[in-house]
């Protein structure tokens, strides 16, 4: 039944494209708007509630939570260095963003945007191995993190493929650089709830949250860029470029 509904919704989208009807999740801008860039920024913010819950008619999943597969972190050095692997990662708060600045692509240069997210919350399953604070700390459990004051510098390149006589946008490359003002992390349901190991690990995470964050960032930035690029293209392939202009 769900597949039938999605197919019907997709058919409606195709008919709307052919008829030039702009769906509710698009906020068009006027080509002669003297502050066109500000209008584009407002259009991005307009789509927030739609991407938060997902847009079934174009098969765009909800970004709440935004999901990633795995991150591997080497937190201390040496043959028994402490390692953490995070899996089944869920990120909450990605749709609550504010667009702070934007620069459109010109003369082959990449587009740029700065967005701000007040808080990102991460829930994941983790496994660990090695020695932590002289205590063997191999095990697994639940990982929790909160990042506050999150700024993302986004750069990317787009192309303009033509299909059925309509011009679309496609994100060919996307890069994200993250900066967090504050980070806090902890684990639970680990080491059979051994209080010594739990406290040792959480003490390490409290005192070294910035180090753990720096270890996470390169992989997290790459995975976020890859996944957000997929989401952007899933959205854009259903939205003719002219829908953004009046």
Domain ranges (residues) in the chain: 23-243
Q: How far apart are CA 222 and CA 193, in angstroms?
A: 33
Q: How far apart are CA 102 and CA 116, in angstroms?
A: 12
Is the N-terminal amide bond of 88 cis, ω within 30° of 0?
no
- Mean pLDDT of the region 85-102: 92
CB-neighbour burial class of residue 180 (10 A; exposed 0-12, middle 13-18, buried 19+): buried
What is the percent of the chain with per-residue pLDDT over 90, rounded to a whole number? 35
Whether pTM > 0.75 for this model: the answer is: yes
Both tokens of 239, joined, read: 């939205």
Q: In 10 A of CB 94, how many CB atoms?
A: 23
Q: How far apart are CA 167 and CA 160, in angstroms?
A: 6
Q: Is the pLDDT of residue 209 over 60?
A: yes
Tens digits of residue pLDDT in 13-70: 444 444 457 888 998 888 888 888 899 899 989 999 999 999 998 889 999 998 888 8
Q: Which has more pLDDT, 211 or 8?
A: 211
- CA 71 distance to own-chain centroid: 14
The answer to whether domain 23-243 has CATH 3.15.10.30 is yes
CB-neighbour burial class of residue 237 (10 A; exposed 0-12, middle 13-18, buried 19+): middle
What is the percent of the chain with per-residue pLDDT over 70, rounded to a whole number? 87
When mean pLDDT is compared across 70-84, 143-157, 183-197, 217-231, the lowest value belongs to 70-84
Q: Is the pLDDT of residue 176 over 80?
A: yes
Decide if 137 contacts 147 (C-beta within 8 A): no
Residue 227's SS3 state is helix
Q: Is the pLDDT of residue 157 over 50?
A: yes
């Amino acid at each position: 039944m769900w597949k039938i509904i999605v197919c019907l919704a997709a058919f409606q989208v195709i008919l709307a494209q052919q008829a030039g009807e702009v769906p509710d999740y698009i906020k068009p801008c006027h080509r002669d708007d003297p502050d066109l860039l500000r209008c584009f920024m407002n259009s991005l913010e307009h789509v927030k509630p739609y991407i938060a819950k997902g847009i079934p008619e174009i098969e765009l999943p909800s970004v709440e939570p935004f999901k990633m597969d795995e991150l591997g972190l080497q937190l201390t050095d040496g043959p028994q260095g402490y390692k953490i692997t995070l899996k089944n990662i869920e990120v909450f708060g990605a749709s609550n963003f504010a667009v702070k600045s934007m620069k459109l692509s010109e003369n082959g240069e990449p587009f740029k945007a700065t967005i701000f997210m007040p808080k990102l919350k991460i829930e994941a399953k983790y496994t660990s191995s090695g020695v932590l604070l002289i205590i063997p700390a191999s095990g697994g459990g639940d990982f929790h993190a909160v990042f506050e004051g999150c700024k993302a510098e986004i750069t990317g390149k787009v192309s303009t493929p033509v299909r059925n006589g309509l011009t679309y946008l496609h994100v060919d490359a996307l890069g994200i650089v993250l900066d967090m003002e504050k980070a806090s992390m902890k684990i639970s349901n680990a080491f059979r709830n051994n209080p010594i190991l739990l406290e040792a690990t959480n003490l390490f995470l409290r005192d070294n949250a910035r180090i753990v964050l720096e270890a996470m960032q390169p992989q997290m930035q790459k995975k976020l860029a890859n996944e957000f690029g997929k989401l952007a293209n899933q959205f854009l392939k259903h939205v003719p470029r002219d829908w953004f202009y009046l």
